Amino acid sequence: MDNTLAEAAGRVTVVLFKSSSEPLEDDLYFQEGRKRGYDVRFVPVLSFRTGRDGKEKLREALQEAERFSGLVVTSQQAVHAVDVCGVTPDELRAWVEEKKLFCVGPQTADKLSVTFRSAGYERLPAISTAENGQQLAAVIAREMEALGHDRPPLLYLCGNIRRSELPTALKGAGIAFDELEVYETVTSPSLPPDLAFSGKPRGAQQQQRVGWMCFFSPSGVKAIHEELNKRGAEEEEEEENGGDGAPRMAAIGPTTAKALTDTFGAPPSATASSPCALGLFDAIEQCASSSMPPRELAAAEEVDVEPPDGLLSIGALVDDQSVAIVAQPLLAGHLGSHEHEVAHERFLVLLHVSNSCT
């Protein structure tokens, strides 16, 4: 084991189901996790595409700023679409100087600010933010009221998969908006080969146990669940997970937490109070310092109860090349409690982590 692996061996590993920033050292999640002593690993689950049609429509809309009273951006992927659509710095001027700007999450707002700064605007506009779509709708309603009833619609940028809370709330408040789909969310092309079956964990003598697996969107939860079910249908494994103590699940916010609960049949152990690196690791440390181990496997072989659909007990091991996700019989129907007894067939999955701590 080299020095980097030896150093990481003493840490709790946190697996983030997302892509990292480039370079890795600039990623805020990597920085925050390392600062707190965690071994941070990234597993990209989703990828995003901005097609030619979406670019053209977005460029045309941004060139006609007079048609709109403001811009609503709910994700960093939508900001990326602005970056690549071909709009010129001069065509962005009206948005910077005259329009209302709204973002979900501070990181989306920061990325939009970088876009304006890259266009040559040193005096950046004020960007109103909220932690989720429902809260942002309330912010928008307050600020738009000052513009009167004859205001133009907002330009609302979204992807092909989006939650309904924000547009529903805006309609309920009588706020007009033009919705423009500017990117497509798809499963990462590298995910299927990354989820490769193995009869036993690779490099077992060098592995350390994963403490947390963190999800960042309902789409990511769905993608992981579908791949696990696909692999489970293809092959069964009879391996033990090699130790006690499975990793806990964490969610970046309440929407993702609900998706985990609905999909896996149990809520995450931690949910970030704010959708950012600080909020996520605060939630993890608060849970780690105040709760019991996520589950116990004692007497699991004696349980003979059919589990709810999709309910898994997930254990994990990590070495320098991969994260081994192990699903075994589950005693606790609620991760972190011991109230319900269920059982589930075993299988083993390896996730090869390309962005490990190096």
Provide the whole-model pTM: 0.59
CATH number, domain of 106, equals 3.40.50.10090
State the SS3 of 81-143. HHHHCCCCHHHHHHHHHCCEEEEECHHHHHHHHHHHHHCCCCCCCCCEEECCHHHHHHHHHHH
For residue 35, give its domain range. 13-45+192-231+246-284
129 and 220 inside one domain: no
Predicted local confidence at residue 26, as pLDDT? 86
Instruction: Encode pLDDT of 50-102 as tens digits.
Output: 888 889 999 999 999 999 999 999 999 999 999 999 999 999 988 988 899 99
Residue 302 within any structural domain of the chain: no
User: In the listed set 284, 314, 347, which residue is the last one of a domain according to the structure?
Assistant: 284
If pLDDT is split at 50, 70 and 90, which confidence band does 356 have? very low
88 and 117 inside one domain: yes
Beta pairing partners, 48: 185
76 and 170 inside one domain: yes
Residue 174 within any structural domain of the chain: yes
| Pair of tokens at residue 142 | 């307050």
Beta pairing partners, 314: 327
User: In the listed set 152, 187, 222, which residue is the last one of a domain according to the structure?
Assistant: 187
Residue 354 within any structural domain of the chain: no
CB count within 10 Å of CB 293 equals 12
- Cis ω on the peptide bond leading into residue 23 (within 30° of 0)? yes
Overall number of domains in the chain: 2
125 and 95 inside one domain: yes
183 and 196 inside one domain: no
65 close to 39: Cβ distance less than 8 angstroms? no
Q: What is the mean pLDDT of the chain?
A: 74
The secondary structure element, H or E, covering residue 63 is: helix 52-63
343 close to 326: Cβ distance less than 8 angstroms? no
CA 90 to chain centre: 34
Residue 172 within any structural domain of the chain: yes
